[in-house]
Amino acid sequence: MAKFSSNPHAGGVTRAAPMPRAEHVSMESDLSETRPKAEPSRPLMQYLFNKRGRGGTRRVSVLPDQHVAVEMLRSRSAVDMHTVDLRFVDPRPIAVRKVAWPVLYVALGLTLLTAIATLLYAKAPGVAQKIGGLYTPVGLGVAAVLAYVLFYRLTTESLIFLSNNGRARFIVIAGRFGTMRRARPCAAAIVTHINIANKKFRQERQAYLRDEMREHARLHERGVLSADRYNEAKRRILKAHT
């Protein structure tokens, strides 16, 4: 049986007295399921996002009994799907935007050069002919457009739902520029069902933390949580258990 103790002085001597609950969380005790399993084939509602781009969210489904299924694109054809029990999700999502600033600066610079070359061609065609004539502003304009397209493709947005005590990334809606705007209805539905789960499935704190630990372990086994993030989540849950 896997046990996790927050007591650094725990030794090898077995005592008859039970260990205080603040020093012990077991993921494998009481394996009986108290919640219905998630049913991805019977979604209550679905939200579609980017269908291209590695690491982007393809679809988020709100399932019966307050679960969510998230499908992520690992490659152009490979899709990874995992489910999350909304009992353990913080209803306050975090918005993250990674802007490709260097590419944007290049695009703006090319735009300025295009304007200068165009003005020069109109006002001083003789001088413009020496530097390529009409080909110069046209070439700079095409380069500027390509830079803006690259900026759009490289700028990403994410809406992240963390676990309550473990603070691990349980639900990530990620994609290109504009994803957060498209994700608002989906996020609102998730928050609604988190609140329903909190009211419907009330537990004592010890039982709740044990189940939250098991949910983290399940997602770690699924490959959703890395070893580092899982271990950090365990540490936080054990700290909350004291």
**What are 51's two structure tokens?**
């269908």
Sign for the pseudo-dihedral over CA of 213, 216, 222, 228? negative
**Predicted confidence (pLDDT) per residue in 179-232, tens digit:** 999 999 999 999 999 999 999 999 999 999 999 999 999 999 999 999 999 999
Task: Tell me the C-alpha distance between 62 and 83, whole Å.
Answer: 10
Sign for the pseudo-dihedral over CA of 147, 177, 105, 112? positive
**Predicted confidence (pLDDT) per residue in 77-119, tens digit:** 677 899 999 999 999 999 999 999 999 999 999 999 999 999 9
**Predicted confidence (pLDDT) per residue in 27-65, tens digit:** 544 444 556 778 888 899 999 986 555 568 889 999 999
Indicate the Cα dihedral angle 7, 11, 17, 22, nearest 10°.
10
pLDDT exceeds 80 at position 16: no
User: The whole model's pTM is what?
Assistant: 0.77
